[in-house]
Amino acid sequence: MCYGLPAPADKRCFLTFIATRRVQPASKANGFTLIEAMVVVALVAILAALAVPSFNTMIANQRVGSAAQELQILLQFARADAVYKRAETVVVANGQKWEAKSGAQVLRETAVSDAVTVEPGSANGVQFAVTGNAKPVGNGNSPPYTLKLSSPRATRVHCLSLNGAGLVIQKRVAAGEACP
């Protein structure tokens, strides 16, 4: 007996077994060839090279928007503090740092990123009266007080303007345009 039965196998049985056995073809290997992998890596590199400049622009736009948001919050805080404490409050620039002051006391400060440029409209700051009304600090300028926030790589400019009642309005315009 042969073919897997527990009988002693002789050479003839073994050769018959080998001759009748069907040989399975070699299975195809799974995976990618080196050429295919190199093509995929090259395509990914090309797509990444195209995406990086727009990603830098997006980051610059986000920095400008974030700085505008922070300054708007600082201006709203200064106005609310002037009304609440019944004392005049001033918001002034000190380099890239903006401060809300009541007298000599600094109430709150906000640092603007070095990548963002803040251009005050006509004065060095804004003063809030106890009624919440705003006027530019300095030589009796009349409202509105404007701030223009921009960045060299940004495609948008944020404009903050305060009217006489002390309300802060934020607008976005295309880079290169003047604030309204």
Give me the pLDDT at residue 90, please. Answer: 92
Q: Look at residue 18 and tell me if it is in a domain.
A: no
pLDDT tens profile 18-71: 656 666 666 677 888 899 999 999 999 999 888 888 888 899 999 999 999 999
Q: Provide φ and ψ at 140, rounded to 5°.
A: 70, 30
- Please write the tens of the pLDDT for every residue from 71-108: 999 999 999 999 999 999 999 988 889 999 998 899 99
Say if CB 141 and CB 122 are below 8 A apart.
yes
Could you tell me if residue 9 is inside a domain?
no
> Any idea what the CATH number is for the domain that residue 148 is in?
3.55.40.10
In a domain, 79, yes or no: yes
Contacts of 69 (CB under 8 A, 6+ apart): 170
Is 14 part of a structural domain of the chain? no
CA 46 remoteness from chain centre: 23
Domain count across the chain? 1
Q: Is the pTM higher than 0.75? A: no
Domain housing 123: 34-174
pLDDT > 60? residue 1: no
pLDDT tens, residue by residue, 138-177: 766 666 788 899 999 899 999 998 888 889 999 999 988 8
Does any domain span residue 8? no
- Residue 17 domain flag: no
112 within some domain: yes
Could you tell me which residues come within 8 angstroms of residue 93 by beta carbon, excluding any fewer than 6 positions away?
A: 99, 118, 120, 124, 125
In a domain, 7, yes or no: no
